[in-house]
């Protein structure tokens, strides 16, 4: 039976630290972020799971720069897929987890109560976001059937991919923690849905960064 495998890695820490960047703020990785990503790749390699055929990245620089760097190292093709860019956070973009409830208390409360219905002003619809992530997974499953694919993407993309694989409701994205350089592995046999194979949310440098997305 032909099995397709996706290894989805969230980007490392960007310049400016933890804040909601969404799909508009394009900060690159800082030195810590680069090290987090390199450590994650080394950990996957130690498990013998780094046999990728292709790398697919979000167009945002906090993902794309490392993806291209790794592609050059491994002599692997690198593709850019805009459907795996981060969800748009609207007017929350650029703010920290602590700043949002101070500036937009009612909006934040609505979001905490229901992240699907309670979207920030100007934010991307959760329905549209899930639709494009699902399309990305479907396309990869079709175009790279039987291959090993590395995706370099974002926190909420990872949560959505996990929810899709587990057939969980969209609201579940608010109950999933995704640290910098977290690793999600999904597999898909022919004619079957995506299945969860591995989730490693340990941060490579051992620290924990509460709140935020992107």
Q: Return per-residue pLDDT of the chain as tens, 214 residues.
A: 689 999 999 999 999 999 999 999 999 999 999 999 999 999 999 999 999 999 999 999 999 999 999 999 999 999 999 999 999 999 999 999 999 999 999 999 999 999 999 999 999 999 999 999 999 999 999 999 999 999 999 999 999 999 999 999 999 999 999 999 999 999 999 999 999 999 999 876 655 444 556 7
Helix axes 155-166, 126-143, angle to 10 degrees: 70
Pairing of strands 78-80, 54-57: parallel
Residue 144: strand, helix, or coil: coil
Enter the pTM of the model. Answer: 0.94
Name the one residue in this structure whose structure tokens are 């898909």.
Answer: 188
* For the chain, domain boundaries: 3-200
Helix axes 31-46, 61-74, angle to 10 degrees: 50
CATH of domain 3-200: 3.40.50.1240
- Distances in Å between the alpha carbon of 125 and those of 120, 130, 165, 178, 205? 10, 9, 20, 20, 33
Residue 179 · residue 10 · CB < 8 Å = yes
- Diameter of the chain measured on Cα atoms: 53
pLDDT score at 210: 47
């Amino acid at each position: 039976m032909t099995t397709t495998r996706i290894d989805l890695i969230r980007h490392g820490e960007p310049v400016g630290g933890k804040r909601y960047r969404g799909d508009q703020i394009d900060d690159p990785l800082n030195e810590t972020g680069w090290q987090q990503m390199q450590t994650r790749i080394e950990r996957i390699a130690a498990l013998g799971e780094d046999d990728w055929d292709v790398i697919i990245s979000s167009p945002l620089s906090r993902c794309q720069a490392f993806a291209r760097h790794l592609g050059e190292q491994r002599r692997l093709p690198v593709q850019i897929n805009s459907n795996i860019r981060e969800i748009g956070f609207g007017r929350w973009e650029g703010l920290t987890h602590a700043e949002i409830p101070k500036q937009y208390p009612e909006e934040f409360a609505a979001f905490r109560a229901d992240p699907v219905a309670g979207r920030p002003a100007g934010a991307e619809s959760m329905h549209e976001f899930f639709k494009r992530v699902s399309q990305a997974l479907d396309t990869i499953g079709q175009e790279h059937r039987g291959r090993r694919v590395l995706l370099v993407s974002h926190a909420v993309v990872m949560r959505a991919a996990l929810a899709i694989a587990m057939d969980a409701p969209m609201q579940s994205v608010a109950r999933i923690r995704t640290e910098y350089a977290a690793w999600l592995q999904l597999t898909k046999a022919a004619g079957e849905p995506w299945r969860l194979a591995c989730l490693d949310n340990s941060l490579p440098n051992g620290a924990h960064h509460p709140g935020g997305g992107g």
